[in-house]
Amino acid sequence: MKNISILPAAILILFISQSIFAQKIVRYDLYVRDTIVTFGDKPKHAIAVNGQIPMPTLTFTEGDIAEIYVHNELKESTSLHWHGLFLPNKEDGVPNLTQMPIEPNTTHKYTFPIIQHGTHWYHSHSGMQEQIGMYGNFIMLKKPTDPTFRKGIDDLPSVPIVLSEWTDANPDNVHRMLHNATDWFAIQKGTTQSYSEAIQQGHFKTKVNNEWKRMNAMDVSDVYYNKFLINGKNESQLSQFKGGDKVRLRISNGGASTYFWLNYAAGKITVVANDGNDVEPVEVDRLIVAVSETYDIVVTIPADKTAYEFLVTSEDRTKSASLYLGDGIKQLNSTLPKLKYFEGMKMMNDMMKMNGDLDDMGMSMSYNQMDMNVVMYPEITGEAKPKSDKMGVIKMTENDYNSNKLSDIVTLNYAMLKSPFKTNLPKDAPIRELKFELTGNMNRYVWSLDNKVVSETDKILIKKGENVRITIYNGSMMRHPMHLHGHDFRIINGQGDYAPLKNIIDIMPMETDVLEFNANVEGDWFFHCHILYHMMAGMGRVFTYENQAPNPLIPNPKLAQRKLFADDRKFHLMAENDFATNGNDGSAMYQNTRWSIGTEWRLGYNDMHGYEIETHIGRYIGKMQWLMPFIGFDWRYRKMEDNEMEKNLFNQTNTKDKRSVFSLGLEYTFPMLIKAQAEVFTDGNVRLQFERMDIPVSKRLRMNLMWNTDKEYMAGLRYIVKRNFGITTHYDSDMGIGFGVSLNY
Amino acid sequence: MKLISKIWVAITVLLSFTSCEAQIKNEKTETVKIYGNCGMCEKRIEKAGNINNIAKVDWDVDTKMATITYDSKKTNQDAILKSIALSGHDSDTFLAPNEAYSKLPSCCQYNRIAKVPVKVNTVASDTISANSKVDMTNHTTAENQLKAVFDNYFAVKDALVKTDGNTASAKATALLSAINAVKMETLKTEEHNVWMKVLKDTKEDAEHISGTKDAKHQRDHFDTLSKNIYELIKVSKQETPTYYQFCPMANNGKGANWLSKEDVVKNPYYGSMMLSCGKVTETIK
């Protein structure tokens, strides 16, 4: 009896004690659905969560327990990654790595304790879903009793803001076009940098030099976007604020591939936190937010009856978005002046060695302090002066690229970030040193670490408890925002014990940055470039802990790994055909990171003109992928008068009548982007061919030239009318002159 | 030969695919006020607002009213007024960026004081409040009145760093009124002595800088002005340090000084051409 009466009492006590210590559970239900939106010029498919884009802002207080139910009502699988959060690996939301994808019409529950504070965000980690709406703010507030609570900052009214971009093109198609080195985006942006534009601006030599070094037109970003958005709107106003108010903006860059400049019409911007971690307040005129970074900034509204423009401009400066802070007449900020592309091209020429490596000319660069792009910023280095070349061969030094020394506009860089408290790692832990080079190849849109993509490498094993120090050098021509899942790292930026904590580091070309973190949570953690199209191309690695417990959400690790690797092993198709008066000319290419299957055809309209198909299967070699050995198959049929024979330059005869042969060959890209092919056929014939395609004559006019030792030659012009439609004329040694239209995919 | 002529025909055909002029569809017409002065303004306003086949702006110099016709499916009044404001012209919806306004030729710089509620007047109101306090208290306000002089000096310097003659002139006017507002009898003895010595020259330099919009002429006077302000700031205690800086190339190679609140060198004598020329020669605390 006595025992029985004690039991309920014990249970009661247990309950009470639990409710005292129990943390607050905060539950969100997210319904993921297909939708149609008109952010650009036309209604397009997008994904909305709870009926909205961006996804709803999720707010927690440090100490809460998050319970997030994801209801997938799409026709495809999805996932959600909690960007910058410390959580158990199985809640991290990377499909095929930390969990299996959330299948259509199923619900997945994410739950984890909130053990940090700050401005973060969340997004889909599946395919291209982040590009079409799956991004939102994730705010974790400090407890009011927190010893780090900063009066005058943490008690200000705050507004969560997520920046993003919109393209009317299907993002899968964007990805495919990037891999096919399309210049359609450049045409849309007006940045073709063709020969005629170069001549007009007195930069003919620059352009030739650029092609001599085997570079296509350079740009600061890859994709053309129709609109840029602040919380899903291009223009909006927060009229609840009045003169004298201070506002804290919690800004996340939810763009898939866009860096954003931030400017404020009423002057200075005070940066108070970065990547969710407090920093000592620092006052700047402007800052650039790398893809997936977050910044907390404080701005002041200086006057009543006036709304001040908070201007968000894409790095390529094609377009912008505005948020007006305050009520009344809108005080505008100047728009950022257009980039001086040919100055940038000249800078790239100077930095590029003939072998494709970058040459920092003895300057040591790190933490965004020097920005080579300043040569393109008119507000820092002055307006473009046509046809002046007075700088000549003066050797440039660090100061020539430090925008804060060149002008009185203060631009934030990582060296200015300082943590308010010491961030040293555990002292006696063993140190693990790792080194990476960021590598890439713009022409073929291959992005990698140490010239290897995710599927070509093993996971990197680290030990729990050790301090991992990573040195990263960017040897590619683009900047890359590298993101580490599940951990914050400190960047060795000269602030000593007070090095700032981040989970994204933007690394500019030729920079060397050092970061370090304590390995303290087991699991498979993705470390990757956060530009969506670079990540899908395989620019990343996976960190994994030695002897860790298996992840219960990955029942079949082999299958999961194969699915994960499928992303960067994907082949991309490109095809074009010219329907001309003298025949059909076309080609199709099916390529991935290393392999290329290509077919070219020339189909006449009668037997005299002949029919010809050449197929090559090759593998690209080296970092720059200039060399490609291949095997081929060649079939042709042509009726010749009087059974005449053709002779090639080597006096070998060639029956073009009917020929089907295999071949072995090499393709190499020479300076001026001339592709040379040397090919030996099974019938003993040898052929050497030189070809230069798509010479940018003017904004939309392209020229093609070809000649080979079979005494065949071709010259053609193509005027690009639309993305997949052009008007052509060409002269061909077999088929004569022709006019036509070309279609390309 | 025949071939070449054929190719040329083809090229001409290809290149002549420019669209013909068309009417604005879904037409909507509105009349709004846009601030400006003259015929030059008219050209600028209309150029900024016009978009081929989408929007047309017709501004009247006398009434300052613009007739805006646009395709209501493709754009709206705000978008058009925004691009006009970005060219430097206020409307009742948008205020032009200050840089855009100050880049306008002086004949186009319409009177916009009434349009900006508080911000632009802060300098003036500072000096007024400094004045009114002088009557009531002594030494603390004396610092304030000199502070207004220093602050306006730094504003002139910042304008010259940007080679912005218009702003430099405006700031020099404010400097002049700050100088006139100083009540000598409330200054400390050392300050008083220096003030007596430099007052006449300082005033003259400020007048010259305010009287022209030519940055070159302003810089000639800024040289001597800087020397006098330096004398003054040395005897006047300031809360934050001031840096006395020197560029050996300025003033035709004779060198020239200036004062700055930051130790980073931003040279006011050359603008963007030689911005970082110079060094800190003295830190005044």
- How confident is the prediction for chain A on average, in pLDDT? 90
Q: Measured between alpha carbons, how far is B140 from B143 in angstroms, rounded to an integer?
A: 5
Q: Which of B275, B261, B271, B277 is nearest to B214 (CA)?
A: B271
Which of A305, A334, A381 lies nearest to residue B97, judging by beta carbons? Answer: A334
Q: Does B180 touch chain A (CB under 8 A)?
A: no
Q: Measured between alpha carbons, how far is B137 from A376 in angstroms, rounded to an integer?
A: 54
One-character DSSP codes across A248-313: EEEEEE--SS--EEEEETTS-EEEEEETTEEEEEEEESEEEE-TT-EEEEEEE--STTEEEEEEEE
Assess if residue B141 is contained within a domain.
Answer: yes
Calculate mean pLDDT across residues A385-411: 65
State which amino acid sits at residue B221.
H
Do the Cβ atoms of B264 and A404 come within 8 Å?
yes
* CA geometry: angle A570, A572, A577, nearest 5 deg: 165
Which of B11, B92, B99 lies nearest to residue A329, judging by beta carbons? Answer: B92
The answer, yes or no, to whether residue A694 has pLDDT greater than 50, is: yes
Query: Among the three residues B98, B128, B147, which one is the final residue of a domain in this structure?
Result: B98
The answer, yes or no, to whether residue A372 has pLDDT greater than 60, is: yes
A545 Cα distance to chain centroid? 28
Backbone angles phi, psi at B282, to 5 degrees: -155, 140
Candidates B17, B78, B272: best to mutate against A (most CBs of A within 10 A) is B272
The answer, yes or no, to whether residue A3 has pLDDT greater than 70, is: no
The answer, yes or no, to whether residue B130 has pLDDT greater than 90, is: no
Weakest mean pLDDT among A279-283, A302-306, B161-165: B161-165
Omega into A43 within 30° of 0, i.e. cis? Answer: no
The residue range of the domain holding B36 is 21-98
Which of A266, A332, A406 lies nearest to residue B96, judging by beta carbons? Answer: A332
Q: Which of A563, A615, A566 is nearest to A593 (CA)?
A: A566
B76 & B139 share domain: no
Q: Which residue has the higher pLDDT, A60 or A369?
A: A60
- Residue B5: predicted pLDDT: 66
Contacts with B158 from chain A: Cβ below 8 Å: 408
Q: Does B246 touch chain A (CB under 8 A)?
A: no
B141 & B204 share domain: yes
pLDDT digits (tens, 9 = 90+) for A487-502: 999 999 999 999 999 9
Give the list of residues 6+ apart from residue B120 with CB closer than 8 angstroms, or none: B113
- For chain B, state the CA radius of gyration: 26
Provide the pLDDT confidence category of residue A643 given band limits of 50, 70 and 90.
Answer: low
The answer, yes or no, to whether residue A238 has pLDDT greater than 80, is: yes
CA distance B83 to chain A (A): 10
* Three-class DSSP category at A744: strand
Do the Cβ atoms of B93 and A739 come within 8 Å?
no
Weakest mean pLDDT among A707-721, B13-27, B62-76: B13-27
Calculate mean pLDDT across residues A592-617: 88
Q: Which of A579, A191, A620 is nearest to A443 (CA)?
A: A620
The answer, yes or no, to whether residue A114 has pLDDT greater than 90, is: yes
CA distance A447 to chain B (A): 37
Contacts with B86 from chain A: Cβ below 8 Å: 332, 334-335
- Residue A389: predicted pLDDT: 45
Contacts with A739 from chain B: Cβ below 8 Å: 10
Provide the pLDDT confidence category of residue A741 given band limits of 50, 70 and 90.
Answer: very high
Q: Is A4 exposed, middle or buried (0-12, 13-18, 19+ CB in 10 A)?
A: exposed
Q: Does A721 touch chain B (CB under 8 A)?
A: yes
pLDDT digits (tens, 9 = 90+) for B43-78: 999 999 999 989 999 999 999 999 999 999 889 999
Do the Cβ atoms of A737 and B6 come within 8 Å?
yes
Q: Which of residues 265-284 of B touch A (CB under 8 A)?
A: 266, 272, 275-276
Rounded to two decimals, the pTM is 0.81
Weakest mean pLDDT among A254-263, A288-297, A350-359, A556-565: A350-359
- Residue B264: predicted pLDDT: 81
C-beta of residue A471 within 8 angstroms of C-beta of residue A435: yes
- How confident is the prediction for chain B on average, in pLDDT? 80
B164 & B231 share domain: yes
- Residue B178: predicted pLDDT: 85
Q: Measured between alpha carbons, how far is A348 from A358 in angstroms, rounded to an integer?
A: 9
Q: For domain A227-331, which CATH number applies: 3.30.360.10, 2.60.40.420, 2.60.40.1180, 3.40.50.920? A: 2.60.40.420
User: Chain B residue closest to A264 (CA)?
Assistant: B97
ipTM value for the complex: 0.83
Query: Scanning the structure block, which residue is given the tokens 């600061």?
Result: A220
For A572-744, CATH gives: 2.40.160
- Residue B174: predicted pLDDT: 87
Provide the pLDDT confidence category of residue A357 given band limits of 50, 70 and 90.
Answer: confident
- Residue A4: predicted pLDDT: 52
Do the Cβ atoms of B97 and A382 come within 8 Å?
no
CA distance A391 to chain B (A): 12
C-beta of residue A715 within 8 angstroms of C-beta of residue A236: no
- Residue B13: predicted pLDDT: 58
Which of A330, A406, A719 lies nearest to residue B275, judging by beta carbons? Answer: A406
Q: Does B118 touch chain A (CB under 8 A)?
A: yes
Calculate mean pLDDT across residues A161-189: 92
Provide the pLDDT confidence category of residue A24 given band limits of 50, 70 and 90.
Answer: very high
Give the list of residues 6+ apart from residue B163 with CB closer than 8 angstroms, or none: B215, B271, B272
CA distance A729 to chain B (A): 7
* Helix or strand (DSSP H, E) at A56: strand A55-61
Provide the pLDDT confidence category of residue B22 given band limits of 50, 70 and 90.
Answer: low
Residue A646 region by backbone torsions, left for phi larger than 0, else alpha for psi between -120 and 50, else beta? beta
First-to-last CA distance in chain B?
83
- Residue A403: predicted pLDDT: 79
Query: Among the three residues B196, B212, B236, which one is the final residue of a domain in this structure?
Result: B236
- Residue B15: predicted pLDDT: 59
Contacts with B99 from chain A: Cβ below 8 Å: 334
* Three-class DSSP category at A672: helix
CA distance A728 to chain B (A): 8
Provide the pLDDT confidence category of residue A88 given band limits of 50, 70 and 90.
Answer: very high
Do the Cβ atoms of A330 and B94 come within 8 Å?
yes
Q: What is the 3-state secondary structure (H, E, C) of chain B?
A: CHHHHHHHHHHHHHHCCCCCCCCCCCEEEEEEEECCCCHHHHHHHHHHHCECCCEEEEECCCCCEEEEEEECCCCCHHHHHHHHHHCCCCECCEECCHHHHHHCCHHHCCCCCCCCCCHHHHHHHHHHHHHHHHCCCCHHHHHHHHHHHHHHHHHHHHHHHCCCHHHHHHHHHHHHHHHHHCCHHHCCHHHHHHHHHHHHHHHHHHHHHHHCCCHHHHHHHHHHHHHHHHHHHHHCCCCCCEEEEEECCCCCCCCEEEEECCCCCCCCCCHHHHCCCCEEEEEEC
CA distance A583 to chain B (A): 17
The answer, yes or no, to whether residue B244 has pLDDT greater than 70, is: yes
Q: Ranked by mean pLDDT, which of A298-312, A398-412, B177-191 comes out on top? A: A298-312
Q: Measured between alpha carbons, how far is B102 from B87 in angstroms, rounded to an integer?
A: 11
Do the Cβ atoms of A737 and B118 come within 8 Å?
no
| Per-residue exposure over A465-499, b if at least 16 CB sit within 10 Å of its own CB, e if not | ebbbbbebbbbbbbbbbbbbbbbbbbbbbebeebb
- Residue B256: predicted pLDDT: 87
User: Chain B residue closest to A328 (CA)?
Assistant: B93
- Residue A408: predicted pLDDT: 80
Calculate mean pLDDT across residues A226-255: 96
Provide the pLDDT confidence category of residue A644 given band limits of 50, 70 and 90.
Answer: low
Going from N- to C-terminal start, the domains of chain A cover 19-149, 227-331, 431-546, 572-744
Q: A494 to each of A159, A311, A370, A467, A482, how far by Cα in Å?
A: 32, 31, 15, 19, 20
Assess if residue B160 is contained within a domain.
Answer: yes
Provide the pLDDT confidence category of residue A348 given band limits of 50, 70 and 90.
Answer: confident
B36 & B85 share domain: yes
The answer, yes or no, to whether residue A395 has pLDDT greater than 60, is: no
Candidates B3, B14, B32, B154: best to mutate against A (most CBs of A within 10 A) is B14
Q: Does A233 touch chain B (CB under 8 A)?
A: no
Token pair in block for residue A531? 């530009």
For A431-546, CATH gives: 2.60.40.420
Assess if residue B84 is contained within a domain.
Answer: yes
Provide the pLDDT confidence category of residue A392 given band limits of 50, 70 and 90.
Answer: very low
Which of A243, A335, A399 lies nearest to residue B118, judging by beta carbons? Answer: A243
Q: Measured between alpha carbons, how far is A453 from A439 in angstroms, rounded to an integer?
A: 10
CA distance B54 to chain A (A): 15
* Helix or strand (DSSP H, E) at A198: helix A195-200
Do the Cβ atoms of B6 and A243 come within 8 Å?
no
Q: Which residue has the higher pLDDT, B279 or A309?
A: A309
Assess if residue B256 is contained within a domain.
Answer: no
Assess if residue B278 is contained within a domain.
Answer: no
Do the Cβ atoms of B117 and A330 come within 8 Å?
no
C-beta of residue A110 within 8 angstroms of C-beta of residue A93: yes
Q: Does B120 touch chain A (CB under 8 A)?
A: no
The answer, yes or no, to whether residue A470 has pLDDT greater than 70, is: yes
The answer, yes or no, to whether residue B138 has pLDDT greater than 60, is: no
Calculate mean pLDDT across residues B210-230: 87
- Residue A23: predicted pLDDT: 76
The answer, yes or no, to whether residue A651 has pLDDT greater than 50, is: yes
Provide the pLDDT confidence category of residue A721 given band limits of 50, 70 and 90.
Answer: very high
B125 & B187 share domain: yes
Task: Please tell me what DSSP assigns to residue A503.
Answer: S
Q: Measured between alpha carbons, how far is A190 from A325 in angstroms, rounded to an integer?
A: 32
CATH number, residue B203: 1.20.120
B221 & B146 share domain: yes
B162 & B70 share domain: no
Q: Which of residues 649-708 of A touch B (CB under 8 A)?
A: 701
- Residue A166: predicted pLDDT: 97
The answer, yes or no, to whether residue A11 has pLDDT greater than 70, is: no
Do the Cβ atoms of A727 and B14 come within 8 Å?
yes
Calculate mean pLDDT across residues A501-505: 97
* Three-class DSSP category at A588: strand
The answer, yes or no, to whether residue A14 has pLDDT greater than 90, is: no
How many inter-chain contacts (A to B, CB under 8 Å) are there? Answer: 83
CA distance A643 to chain B (A): 28
| Overall number of domains in chain B | 2
Contacts with A235 from chain B: Cβ below 8 Å: 78
CA distance B168 to chain A (A): 16
User: Chain B residue closest to A717 (CA)?
Assistant: B11
CA torsion angle for A586, A590, A596, A600 (degrees, to 10)? -10
Q: Which of B73, B93, B71 is nearest to B83 (CA)?
A: B93
Strands A504-507 and A480-484: antiparallel
Token pair in block for residue A157? 């009214």
B79 & B180 share domain: no
| Per-residue exposure over A661-683, b if at least 16 CB sit within 10 Å of its own CB, e if not | bebebebebeeebebebebbbee
Weakest mean pLDDT among A287-291, A317-321, A453-457, B265-269: B265-269
CA distance A606 to chain B (A): 22
- Residue B63: predicted pLDDT: 92
Query: Among the three residues B33, B64, B98, which one is the final residue of a domain in this structure?
Result: B98
Q: Which of B82, B86, B81, B26 is nearest to B59 (CA)?
A: B81
Do the Cβ atoms of A332 and B3 come within 8 Å?
no
C-beta of residue A90 within 8 angstroms of C-beta of residue A112: no
B61 & B143 share domain: no
Query: Scanning the structure block, which residue is given the tokens 């699988």?
Result: A77
B94 & B123 share domain: no
- Residue B140: predicted pLDDT: 43
The answer, yes or no, to whether residue A744 has pLDDT greater than 50, is: yes
Give the list of residues 6+ apart from residue B174 with CB closer than 8 angstroms, or none: B123, B124, B127, B152, B155
CATH number, residue B34: 3.30.70.100
pLDDT digits (tens, 9 = 90+) for A656-679: 667 889 999 999 999 999 999 999
Q: B134 to each of A120, B144, B152, B180, B239, how far by Cα in Å?
A: 51, 9, 19, 13, 20
Q: Does B261 touch chain A (CB under 8 A)?
A: no
- For chain A, state the CA radius of gyration: 29
Contacts with A328 from chain B: Cβ below 8 Å: 117
Contacts with A408 from chain B: Cβ below 8 Å: 158, 161-162, 266, 275
C-beta of residue A609 within 8 angstroms of C-beta of residue A734: yes
Q: Ranked by mean pLDDT, which of A248-252, A384-388, B238-242 comes out on top? A: A248-252
Q: Which of residues 310-369 of A touch B (CB under 8 A)?
A: 328-335
- Residue A428: predicted pLDDT: 92
Q: Which of A564, A356, A566 is nearest to A443 (CA)?
A: A356
Calculate mean pLDDT across residues B148-162: 88
Candidates B94, B121, B125, B270: best to mutate against A (most CBs of A within 10 A) is B94
Q: Does A112 touch chain B (CB under 8 A)?
A: no
Q: Which residue has the higher pLDDT, A12 or A211?
A: A211
Q: Does B285 touch chain A (CB under 8 A)?
A: no
Do the Cβ atoms of B97 and A265 come within 8 Å?
yes
Do the Cβ atoms of A332 and B119 come within 8 Å?
no
Provide the pLDDT confidence category of residue B237 given band limits of 50, 70 and 90.
Answer: confident
Contacts with A329 from chain B: Cβ below 8 Å: 92-95, 115
- Looking at domain A19-149, what is its CATH homologous superfamily? Cupredoxins -  blue copper proteins (2.60.40.420)
